[in-house]
Amino acid sequence: MKGILITFEGLDGCGKSTQVHRLAERLQQLGYQPIIVREPGATPLSERIRHLLLDASADITPLAEMLLFNAARAQLVDTVLRPALETGSIVLCDRFADSTTAYQGYGRGLPIELVLACNQIATRGLTPTLTFFLDVPVELAFQRHRSSDRMERAGRDFFERVRNGYWEIARRQPERIICIDATRPPEEVHTTIWEHVRQYLPSEASASEGFY
């Protein structure tokens, strides 16, 4: 695949969206045209599944929840991500399969191997080039971001398990996942992200040779 897939992970309130937009801005200043997507979402079907998943009144079992996140992902991968990457685009994705491993695997307690196998089916093996895990303590995440959607009504223990899960995922794949202390000011976090991303960008000359 010619393009670059960069994913952002972390607890709700870790500052992912800010960093996705700051990175997009910087890439645009250099003449790239990054594609920005969020999960679950970014296709009509995936947005409908997102609505179901976040509906506070819905009663969804952990297994059904995991399969729904992956159904939304399968549609996104096949209709948006693969076509974009095949034409050489840089894609920035706010959450991807690691979210399912962290939230439904470590958080909800589904067997990790089962979750990884389903993620593999949904992505058909598409793995991010680079993943930023923006780490903040649960306490800070709660202060920064509180809403009452279905996922965020899970208790503090749940989010502690998710956070520890992310550390475990990152420990297993250190070459792909960069852990960043996201309690630091956003501009400092961006600088660290940029230092990594720039290493994956083609030289300026090749921007005109098929990288967008």
Per CB under 6 A, residues contacting ligand TYD are 12, 38-40, 54, 69, 95, 99-100, 103-104, 151-152
Question: Could you tell me the two tokens for 164?
Answer: 């520890």
Cα 141 from Cα 128, distance rounded (Å): 25
The CB-of-13 to ligand TYD minimum distance in angstroms stands at: 7
Q: Based on CB atoms, which residue is closest to ligand TYD, 3 or 39?
A: 39
- CB burial readout 114-153, b (16+ within 10 A) else e: ebeebbeebbeebebbbbbbbbbebebbbeeeeeeebbbe
The CB-of-58 to ligand TYD minimum distance in angstroms stands at: 13
The CB-of-5 to ligand TYD minimum distance in angstroms stands at: 15
Q: Based on CB atoms, which residue is closest to ligand TYD, 186 or 210?
A: 186
What residue type is assigned to position 37 of the chain? V
- The number of residues making up the chain comes to 212
The CB-of-164 to ligand TYD minimum distance in angstroms stands at: 15
Q: Based on CB atoms, which residue is closest to ligand TYD, 31 or 186?
A: 186
